[in-house]
Structures are given as C-alpha cells and as structure tokens.
Amino acid sequence: MFSELMPLLDHRPLTITVAPLSGGRIRVCVIPQTVESDEHVNDKAGSHKEIKKIPDSAIKALRTPLCLEGTAAELDSGMPGQLAKYTEAQIGLHDGLQRAMTEIAEGVQAIADRNKAKSATKQSPSAKDKGQSSKEPKPPAESEKPMDLPLAWCVPPSTSPTSTAVSQGDAASKAHEDANQEGEE
C-alpha cells in the first residue's frame, strides 16, 4: 500500500483516515495536504496582462482526496491498484503544473527581454541626430530585383473572417482552391 504512495509522498504530505461503516465496511481516505509552494504558483506571472495565470481549480486539484469503501477483504485486494492509479494521476497533475510554471517563467522573461529591446531602440539616437549624412541607397540593378510573383498567402482574403471551426486539411484545401481561382481570373 505505501509503496504505491511513495511517488506522491515525494511531492506532498498525505493524511490517511480509516473509519468504520455499518455492515462491516470500512472507508479509507487518502488526503493530500497543502504545501507552501501551492500558494506561490502564480507569483512569477505577476501582473502581466499577457500571461494567463494558472487557475485556482488546477492548484486545488492537487489536493483531491481518494476515498475507498469496502469490506476489509475488498480493500486488501483492490486498494493497491486504486492507489497506484491515484498516484499516477496526481503525479501527472503535478508535472503538468510544473511545466505550466516553467512556461510562465519563460514567458515573463521573454516579455521582459522584448520590453528591454523596445526601450533600447527608443533611446538609441538615429544617424541624423549624430550629424551624419545618410546616403540614400541606390535602387538595385534590374538583374538584382526579385521576381514579383503573386503568392496565395500574400493575397488578402476576399471575404471577412468568420469564427467557424474547420480542420487543418479543410483550411489548406480551401486556400488552395482560392489560389487557383485567383490564378484563373
């Protein structure tokens, strides 16, 4: 029984309660406890409007108890398998939460880097401010000019976008049909 719970015990303490019920039945509850890191899950997200915080319901899911009821013989035979499934599900939730926290931290860092780059470009003086004359670039020679081919993905859509759900294959074939129709016109 406890070997199935060990992976879960690595992440948070558990409370196990055993209570007698009528008819010789027993109720066993495994209750994950709150840990200090639960309170700080969204700290890295801060007040960024661009970063969505992890919902409280996802954090509370880590504390979802498991309650089993049955006779002593039923619990002896079925409880290890149920504990293994429960532990696997809880570890999956924990790992998903950790991945989300990592992605949030990376997102916050990317936003900070972007904002730093924006402020650096605003502060850097232009060539005209330094008193340097800017030479106008000469137009490229005829052989250097890129070919002007009408690309289907560059053409604006002929209808206004609507919010309809289509599969990726449908969208690709529709874009191909639209490109063919425009090529024929």
Query: What would the 3-class secondary structure string for 59-120 be?
Result: HHHHHCCEEEEECHHHHHHHHHHHHHHHHHHHHHHHHHHHHHHHHHHHHHHHHHHHHHHHHH
pLDDT of residue 121: 79
Choose between 48 and 72: higher pLDDT. 72
Global pTM reads 0.57
pLDDT of residue 122: 74
DSSP state of 156: P
Contact 4, 80 (CB under 8 A): yes
Query: Over the stretch 74-131, which tens digit does the pLDDT of each residue have?
Result: 999 999 999 999 999 999 988 988 888 888 888 888 888 888 888 877 776 554 455 5
Rounded (10°) angle between helices 72-123 and 2-9 = 10
Contact 60, 32 (CB under 8 A): no
Choose between 53 and 180: higher pLDDT. 53
Q: Indicate the pairing of strand 14-20 with strand 66-70.
A: unpaired
Choose between 67 and 146: higher pLDDT. 67
Report in angstroms the alpha-carbon separations of 172 from 58, 150, 169, 177: 36, 18, 5, 9
- Start-to-end Cα distance in the chain: 73
Examine the pLDDT at 46 and tell me if it is beyond 60.
yes
Handedness of CA 49, 53, 57, 58 (dihedral sign): positive
Structure tokens at 113: 């880097």
Structure tokens at 30: 């495994």
Cα(100)–Cα(161) distance, rounded to whole angstroms? 31
In the chain, where the domains are located: 2-117
Average pLDDT over every residue of 47-73: 85
pLDDT of residue 32: 93
Name the residue among 14, 13, 8 with its Cα closest to residue 28. 14
The model's confidence at residue 163, banded by pLDDT at 50, 70 and 90, is very low
Mean pLDDT across the chain: 74
